[in-house]
Structure 1
Amino acid sequence: MNKLNFKGSVMLNPAPVVLVTSKNSSNKINIFTVAWVSTVCTKEPIIAMGVRPERLSYQYIKESGECVINLPTKDMVKIVDYCGVVSGKKEDKIKHFNLQLNEGISITTPSLQNSPLALECKVKSVTPLGTHDLFLLEVLNVKVDENLLDSNNKICFNKANLICYSHGEYYGLNSKPLGSFGYSVRKKSKKK
Structure 2
Amino acid sequence: MAKEVWQPGNMLYPIPAVMVSCGRPGETPNIITVAWAGNICSSPAMLSISVRKERFSYDIIKETGEFVVNLTSKKLTRATDWCGVRSGRDFDKFKEMNLTPSKSQKISAPGIEESPVNIECKVKQVVDLGSHDLFIAEVVCVTVDDKLLDDKGRLDLGKAKLVAYSHGEYFMLGEKLGKFGYSVAKKPEKSEKKSAKKPGKKKKK
Q: Which residue of structure 2 lines up, in the alignment, with residue 161 of structure 1?
A: 161
* Identity rate, percent: 44
Tell me if the contact between 1:30 and 1:57 (Cα under 8 Å) persists in the aligned partners.
yes
Q: Which residue of structure 1 lines up, in the alignment, with residue 195 of structure 2?
A: none
**Matched residue SS, 1:76:** helix
Distance 1:83 1:160 in 2: 20
Tell me if the contact between 2:24 and 2:109 (Cα under 8 Å) persists in the aligned partners.
no
Alpha-carbon displacement from aligned partner over 1:67-92 (angstroms, at most 9, x marks no partner)? 00001111111111110000001111
Alpha-carbon displacement from aligned partner over 1:62-120 (angstroms, at most 9, x marks no partner)? 11100000011111111111100000011111111221121010111111111010100
Q: Which residue of structure 1 lines up, in the alignment, with residue 41 of structure 2?
A: 41
Q: Which residue of structure 2 lines up, in the alignment, with residue 187 of structure 1?
A: 186
Write the mapping of 1:141-180 to structure 2, written as runs, cut at 5 A: 141-174=141-174, 176-180=175-179
Q: Which residue of structure 2 lines up, in the alignment, with residue 24 of structure 1?
A: 24
Q: Which residue of structure 2 lines up, in the alignment, with residue 106 of structure 1?
A: 106
Distance 2:39 2:187 in 1: 31
Distance 1:90 1:146 in 2: 34
Where structure 2 has 5 or more consecutive residues not aligned to the other structure, the ranges are 193-205
Tell me if the contact between 1:68 and 1:121 (Cα under 8 Å) persists in the aligned partners.
yes
Cα RMSD of the aligned pairs, angstroms, is 1.1
Distance 1:27 1:152 in 2: 41
Answer with 31-40 or 96-105: which moved more. Answer: 96-105
Shift of 1:173: 0.7
Q: Which residue of structure 2 lines up, in the alignment, with residue 53 of structure 1?
A: 53
Tell me if the contact between 1:19 and 1:34 (Cα under 8 Å) persists in the aligned partners.
yes
Distance 1:8 1:25 in 2: 41
Structure having the higher Rg:
2
**Matched residue SS, 1:120:** strand
Shift of 1:8: 1.0
The number of aligned residues is 191
Q: Which residue of structure 2 lines up, in the alignment, with residue 12 of structure 1?
A: 12
Write the mapping of 1:75-114 to structure 2, written as runs, cut at 5 A: 75-114=75-114
Write the mapping of 1:65-84 to structure 2, written as runs, cut at 5 A: 65-84=65-84
AA aligned to 1:78 is R
AA aligned to 2:179 is S
Tell me if the contact between 1:25 and 1:63 (Cα under 8 Å) persists in the aligned partners.
no
Where structure 1 has 5 or more consecutive residues not aligned to the other structure, the ranges are none
Distance 2:3 2:148 in 1: 41
AA aligned to 1:9 is G
AA aligned to 1:80 is T
